Structure 1
């Protein structure tokens, strides 16, 4: 048994919990980011960790498409095509790295499509949390056009795939401080049977 597989002591478990709780409780969206972005290696490490989300039958029904540089221009053209605009959208240029989150449905008699989409959504949220905890600015973007055929083509989607949305990633602007969000009252969202 490796060190990471050994049970944690109550003190270590409490410390780990507080660290994770703080990271989740202080997460925020950054609608404005700088031109800095995580490297491929850093992103790979984050995606590997995010792949640990609960996944019935370990289907891994998801993938991430990283768009940097000129790929963002092509995405802007696809958004324009879907929106019937003449001018390419400038939205993809609001961040140096865009992570398209794709659900890749796997044939399964046990795991329905909705559950596979939930796994992909869980991966997206976990990637967002990990990027935020690593000091990157992240915001989630969706839209009706995620299911448009221009998006399918732009992202190279197969017949069994759907685009869920994009994580826009960049550096946190200097001088900006972490804003506070109104806390959620957990008691209001818990019911007991």
Structure 2
């Protein structure tokens, strides 16, 4: 399949099956995803695989963050905003674990796929390459990986949300103060059945000439 066809036929799958690619299979796909354009070859990204009970730990972090009112702040921009979030986060992170139905709801969210791949923008010191550009590289790797997983027959959806910016979730992923969590790829068996067609925008609406 050509790159053009792969892009036209890519779909996000909100529901996936119980199988997931192995560690070895993932390494092969990441090797290709890493060919994204990367100014100065800084490689300002990393990925974290969550399987099995690791997903329950994520659900617990979701519940703790939500109970503490996490995720209500704005998105923030560069490393300074993330460092500030890190420094003030003990108000949420130091609380006791939430239990009961609230926890169960968030654990169920984290268990919607057998494999979650956390996407981390990990900027490197550079006088030439701004942090936003480095975050774009991390997002490019993630998008490449969704295409490669789709081509390999896996179902995948990229999920984000306010909870990526909360202290319990940041701590679980062991993020450095300057790192950003860009969400997770939820990966599993592609669901059977007819492929739904996506309505595509008119490209002429997005292309102008100077």
Question: Normalising by the residue count of structure 1, what TM-score does the alignment of the two structures yield?
Answer: 0.88
Work out whether residues 106 and 160 of structure 1, in 8 Å CA contact, stay in contact via their aligned partners in 2: no
Deviation at 1:105, TM superposition (A): 1.1
Please, which runs of 5 or more residues in structure 1 have no aligned partner? 1-17
Matched, 1:100 2:118: yes
Deviation at 1:70, TM superposition (A): 0.7
The answer for the alignment partner of 1:158 in structure 2 is: 176
Matched, 1:191 2:174: no
The answer for the alignment partner of 1:67 in structure 2 is: 50
Residue aligned with 2:121, SS? strand
- What CA distance in whole angstroms lies between the structure 2 residues aligned with 1:63 and 1:43? 13
- What CA distance in whole angstroms lies between the structure 2 residues aligned with 1:20 and 1:111? 28
The answer for the alignment partner of 2:142 in structure 1 is: 124
Q: How many aligned positions are there?
A: 175
- What CA distance in whole angstroms lies between the structure 2 residues aligned with 1:192 and 1:38? 43
- What CA distance in whole angstroms lies between the structure 2 residues aligned with 1:57 and 1:177? 43
The answer for the alignment partner of 1:36 in structure 2 is: 19
**4+ residue stretches of structure 1 with deviation over 6 A?**
none
- What CA distance in whole angstroms lies between the structure 1 residues aligned with 2:163 and 2:157? 18
Which whole-Å deviations, capped at 9, do the CAs of 1:127-163 have from their partners, x for residues lacking one? Answer: 0111011110001111111011111111111222110
Q: CA RMSD in A?
A: 1.2
Deviation at 1:190, TM superposition (A): 0.6
Matched, 1:56 2:39: yes
